[in-house]
RNA sequence: AGGGGCGUAGCUCAGUGGCAGAGCAGCGGCCUUUUAAGCCGUUGGUCGUGGGUUCGACCCCCACCGCCCCUACCA
């Protein structure tokens, strides 16, 4: 099917026919490279022009034509391969009439294989003096304009293949994402974890609170959920004696899309038996610091206007964070004890709302922010909401936030000294939630009680039934354990200085376009 | 979901209630060390879609579609 721009598409089809008429196959099966353009550029970056004259360096390489400058009976081109650009010089005298004719039929975007030797031009650019030239694949569609490239964000994401060709930063971002994944695997492999894969289609979407996607299996005539978390399966494996496991894979949540949310996203989850959340706090600090060092070459990472320092971590309880980030002009700020008192969070939320309403009346009023609706919430839920409203966006430097309310943590173990709190922490960096960890609740009766409460309370983000098989697994005995989930997309954002999750997902979800031919 | 912004040639972008524009890409020509190559000539438009106002709409109004930002949702 021809695509727009039609005139250029047809023009290139014509050239394709001419190439065939020359006796060349425009889509040959393979081409042996002696080295890639990137390897050639790297190996000879500092070679002098004179050295090429005394000792000839022959190369055989391939790539996509990105620039083309014809000068009558000679011409220059740049090919891009393996992430680098290499200049070619093609001269009628050197290649002969037939090959030169082929060269004249080439367009930007075509993929070619060449052989020749290296030299430096008058302007000292490393260049291949081409002896032979072969078309390896014809581009029937033109590349975007060479100065500005492809800037339209929507087009970049819809046609990521073009984005990758013309925007080198995109390539770097995704290479770095792969490095991050390798680094994570190396970190856990070295510590005796085994990598596992658990179901992504589940009959009960548990392990988190989120609206699931529904799909259907025909043979079993069975509705299934795409998983929202692997948590309950990974803990079953701990019951089975796999004491250290991790999984890196996709989760699916049928919720909003934003610069920090994509409906399918990649999570690392890992579990470690005979440990508690304090062990994971230490492990988290080590993991992030070593990964930053490995990926970015330093524990200091530039993210927008911020310099994130992964060698120094702040540890805050949720209540401390609320106190710390209470708006100064809404003084007096509450104390942690106020937040701990029964009914305290509600009273503080009311105070916050009163302050907000006064703000709206000021002449310099910012756009109105909805007041907190805490009418049907428990103290723990209100505490969580206060934290998210007041403190979360302010947590720029790496922070471990701990002491979560039990109400909002159905899978975590309570603190022995205070059952209103659980042994749980989250990782916050650059105002984003990066990770979530806790000491795993392993008392089957308490777990069942909390599940039943959850199901009874209902809501779209809660499973409709209790995962009784999980309770059965716990009944065989789950060793004391701690587990954690880390959002890989957001982690990649941090380490690539990307400010939208869509920049670190190759094909983010976009609405299909009615007219796909553009 | 609500508010705001954007949508003009393949790409990057100007534009005005009165003939639809530029650069690059494309096409033809000249050019054997150029690199944003250059010079001469030239093709290409449902101005996101559909209504409305108007003598006349790319422009003003309404609805819809898509993207971006903020808010909401999101443990």
**Contact partners, residue A460, CB within 8 Å, separation at least 6:** A211
Ordered mean pLDDT values, 10 residues apiece, chain A (518 residues): 88 94 92 96 93 94 96 96 96 95 96 97 96 96 90 92 94 96 97 97 92 92 94 97 97 90 95 96 97 96 92 94 87 88 90 77 51 80 89 92 92 94 95 94 95 86 90 97 96 95 93 57
Q: Please give the pLDDT value at position A360.
A: 62
Q: How far is the CA of A395 from the C1' of B30 (A)?
A: 64
* Angstrom distance (rounded) from CA A284 to CA A265: 20
C1' of B57 to CA of A365 (Å) = 39
Are A79 and A123 a contacting pair, CB within 8 Å?
no
How distant is C1' of B50 from CA of A459, in Å? 40
Cβ(A404)–Cβ(A424) below 8 Å: yes
> What is the per-residue pLDDT for A333?
84
Dihedral over Cα of A416, A418, A421, A427: its sign: negative
Spanning CA of A468 to C1' of B71, the rounded length in angstroms is 39
Which of A411, A473, A416 has its CA nearest to residue A437? A411
Please tell me the predicted confidence (pLDDT) of residue A128.
97
Picking from A493, A500, A60, the residue whose alpha carbon sits closest to that of residue A302 is A493
pLDDT at A2: 82
C-alpha pair distances (Å), A233 with each of A192, A237, A279: 19, 7, 22
Q: Which residue is nearest to nucleotide B4 (CA to C1')?
A: A367
Q: What is the pLDDT of residue A397?
A: 94
The protein residue nearest B1 (Cα–C1') is: A256
Counting other chains too, the contacts that A263-268 makes at CB distance below 8 Å and 24 or more residues apart are: A263/A213, A263/A509, A264/A509, A265/A487, A265/A488, A265/A489, A265/A501, A265/A505, A266/A487, A266/A488, A266/A489, A267/A229, A267/A230, A267/A485, A267/A486, A267/A487, A267/A488, A268/A184, A268/A485, A268/A486, A268/A488
> What is A136-199 written as a DSSP string?
EE---SPPPPTTT----HHHHHHTHHHHHHH-HHHHHHHHHHHHHHHHHHHHHHTTT-EE----
Q: Which bases on strand B have an atom closer than 7 Å to a protein beta carbon? A: 1, 9-13, 23-27, 30-38, 43-44, 65-75
- Quickly give A300 CA vs B11 C1' distance in Å: 38
The pLDDT assigned to A315 comes to 95
Look at residue A370 in the predicted model and tell me its pLDDT: 56
**Closest nucleotide to A461, Cα to C1':** B74
C1’ B65 / CA A223, Å = 32
Instruction: Point out the nucleotide closest to A509 (alpha carbon to C1′).
Output: B67
Which nucleotide's C1' sits nearest to the alpha carbon of A260? B74
| Distance, CA of A5 to C1' of B41, in Å | 22
Alpha carbon distance A24, A359 (integer Å): 74
* Residue A309 token pair: 């320092």
Other Cβ atoms closer than 10 A to A245: 24
Residue A512: the pLDDT is: 81
The nucleotide lying nearest A94 (C-alpha to C1') is B32
């Amino acid at each position: 099917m021809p695509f727009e721009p039609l005139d250029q598409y047809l023009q290139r089809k014509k050239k394709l026919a001419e190439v065939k008429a020359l006796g060349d196959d425009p889509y040959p099966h393979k081409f042996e490279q002696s080295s890639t353009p990137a390897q050639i550029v790297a190996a000879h970056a500092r070679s002098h022009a004179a050295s090429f004259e005394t000792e000839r360096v022959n190369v055989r390489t391939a790539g996509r034509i990105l620039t083309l400058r014809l000068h009558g009976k000679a011409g220059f081109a740049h090919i891009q391969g393996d992430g680098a650009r290499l200049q070619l010089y093609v001269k009628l005298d050197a290649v002969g009439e037939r090959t030169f004719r082929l060269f004249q039929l080439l367009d930007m975007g075509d993929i070619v294989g060449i052989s020749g030797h290296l030299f430096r031009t008058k302007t000292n650019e490393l260049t291949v003096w081409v002896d032979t030239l072969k078309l390896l694949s014809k581009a029937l569609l033109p590349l975007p304009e060479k100065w500005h490239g492809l800037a339209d964000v929507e087009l970049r994401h819809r046609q990521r293949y073009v984005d990758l060709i013309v925007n080198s930063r995109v390539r770097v971002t995704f290479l770095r994402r792969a490095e991050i994944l390798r680094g994570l695997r190396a970190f856990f492999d070295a510590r005796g974890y085994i990598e596992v894969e658990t179901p992504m289609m589940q009959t009960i979407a548990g392990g988190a609170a989120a609206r699931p996607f529904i799909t259907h299996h025909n043979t079993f005539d069975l509705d299934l959920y795409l998983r929202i978390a692997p948590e309950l399966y990974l803990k079953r494996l701990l019951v089975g004696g796999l004491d250290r496991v991790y999984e890196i894979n996709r989760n699916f949540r049928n919720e909003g899309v934003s610069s920090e949310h994509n409906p399918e996203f990649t999570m690392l989850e890992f579990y470690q038996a005979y440990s508690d959340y304090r062990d994971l706090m230490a492990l988290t600090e080590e993991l992030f610091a070593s990964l930053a060092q490995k990926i970015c070459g330093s524990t200091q990472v530039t993210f927008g206007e911020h310099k994130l320092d992964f060698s120094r971590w702040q540890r805050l309880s949720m209540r401390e964070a609320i106190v710390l980030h209470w708006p100064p002009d809404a003084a007096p700020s509450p104390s942690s004890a106020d937040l701990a008192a029964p009914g305290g969070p509600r009273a503080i939320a009311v105070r916050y709302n009163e302050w907000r309403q006064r703000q709206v009346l000021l002449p310099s009023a910012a756009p109105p922010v909805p007041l907190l609706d805490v009418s049907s919430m428990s103290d723990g839920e209100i505490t969580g909401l206060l934290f998210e409203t007041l403190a979360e966006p302010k947590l720029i430097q790496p922070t471990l936030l701990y002491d979560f309310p039990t109400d909002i943590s159905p899978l975590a173990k309570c603190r022995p000294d205070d059952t209103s709190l659980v042994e749980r922490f989250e990782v916050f960096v650059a105002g984003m939630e990066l990770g979530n960890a806790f000491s795993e609740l392993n008392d089957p009766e308490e777990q069942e009680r909390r599940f039943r409460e959850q199901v009874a309370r209902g809501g779209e983000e809660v499973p409709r039934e209790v995962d009784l098989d999980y309770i059965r697994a716990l009944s065989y005995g789950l060793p004391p354990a701690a587990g954690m989930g880390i959002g890989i997309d957001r982690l990649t954002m941090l380490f690539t200085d990307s400010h939208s999750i869509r920049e670190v997902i190759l094909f983010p979800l976009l609405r299909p376009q009615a007219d796909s031919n553009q």
